[in-house]
Structure formats: structure tokens, C-alpha cells
Amino acid sequence: MFAIFRKEISGFFSSLTGYIVIIVFLLINSLFMWVLPGEWNILDRGYAGLDTLFFLSPWVFLFLVPAVTMRMIAEEKRLGTIELIYSRPITERGIIWGKYFASVTLVLLALLPCLTCYLSVYVLGDSPGNLDKGGTWGAFIGLFFLASIYAAAGIFASSITDNQVIAFIVAVVICFFLYMGFDSSAYLPGLKSLDEFIIRLGINEHYKSVSRGVLDIRDAVYFVAVVFVFNEATRLVLLSRKWKKNC
């Protein structure tokens, strides 16, 4: 697993992929927070908070994370290097989790520079430090968990095809449904009695809960469980490929 992890991390930063992901994430958020006029601009709004960052980031990650994961297995299948990996003493879980942790590490590296935004807002308040620290750190943790699910979904999408574009589109659709789909479905006719249950199946409800600064064990279990389910689904896809070849 660690060999796969090192391979993917070095791949991110030996090419431009890792740098582009970090720069694009920071650039989009910074433009809306500090440059473009409007209600999302902190200086125009006159309120020292990071609401803009935590509202925009799930949508930015919705496209950036699938862009990172789309090649992880699809490209290996297209080039035939997946067979070379199978020839080494590593299990399907080792392959998947190595690639998953590499993706999550890149997400973490993209989030770390956002601490400068926290420090800026911390200082800009009428009373420096007048900031909901618990809610802010909770939102950072929630955002990391959210992107972690995106990464697992993206790797799953990459495993079902050898076309990177298709993997990207499928991953975006899955991530969008996980983020907003359950919330929208909950209010369909005939589902009113189950609306709370359906909403809690989606990411958004748990992300908002963690963002309030309350780290509920149920939210943590949800994020871990969804990641595990997607990674196990990816393992089954890889196993089915081996079964077909053996047949």
C-alpha cells in the first residue's frame, strides 16, 4: 500500500497535477472572498467570517477531486499497467487504499494554505480574534471529510472504465448526488414521512452538523462508513475483472 501511495504522490508533483489542484482551489476561493465584488466578498460584506470558503469549497472539490481521481485506475487499465501491479505482492485493498490516501493527502495539502484565510479573518475583526473558533475548525474538519468521500467515489468511478473522461463525469454525478441529491429527493411526493432519514443519507446534513463545531460520533461514523463502502465496491470491481480474465 505504501509503495502505491508513494507512487501516486510522486506522480502528482512530478507532473503539474498536484500544483494545479492546489492553485485552482485557492484561486477560486480567494477571488470570491477578496477580489470579486458581491455578497461573498468579506470586505464588501463587512463581516469577518469564513462562510464563503465553507460554502464554495464543497462545489470546487466536486470537480477538482474527480479530476484528480479519474486517472488513478482508468489509466492503469488503459495502459495495461494494472496487470504489472497485480504481479506484485499487494492485494486489491492495498492498491485501492494506497491510491485513496494519496488523493486525500492532496486534498489536505490544498486545505492547509487556507489557514492564511483564517488568520486574515481572525485579524480583520473589529475585535481581533472575535471568531467562532469551534465552528471554524469544525468546518475545516467537515470539509476534509466531505472531500474524502469525493475521493473514494472518484476512485470507484475510475475503476469501472478505462476512459478518464467517463470516469470524471461519473464521479461528478455520484458526488453531486451524495451532496445534494438526497436533500432534493427527500421532498418528493410520497417520501415526506421519510424525509429526515433520507436527508441524513446525504453528505450535506453531516457536513453542516460538523461545521457547527459539534463533532458527533454519528457524523464521523457516517463519513468513515461511506468511504469504506465505496472502497469495497472498487475492490469488487477489480476482483470481477480478474475473475473474467481467469474465465
* Per-residue model confidence as pLDDT tens digits over 165-214: 999 999 999 999 999 988 877 777 766 667 788 888 899 889 988 887 77
| 133 pLDDT above the threshold of 70 | yes
pLDDT class of 244 with cuts at 50, 70, 90? low
> What radius of gyration, in Å, describes the C-alpha atoms of the chain?
19
Q: How many residues does the chain have?
A: 247
Q: How confident is the model at residue 128 (pLDDT cuts 50, 70, 90)?
A: low
DSSP state letter for 123 = H
Provide the pLDDT confidence category of residue 82 given band limits of 50, 70 and 90: confident
Q: How many domains does the chain have?
A: 1
pLDDT tens digit string along 44-72? 776 667 888 888 999 999 999 999 999 99
The answer for residues whose C-beta is within 8 angstroms of residue 53's C-beta and 6 or more apart is 29, 33, 114, 117
Q: What is the pLDDT at residue 222?
A: 94
What predicted TM-score, i.e. pTM, was given to this entire model?
Answer: 0.91
Exposed/middle/buried for 210, CB within 10 Å: 0-12, 13-18, 19+?
Answer: buried
- Structural domain boundaries enclosing 238: 2-246
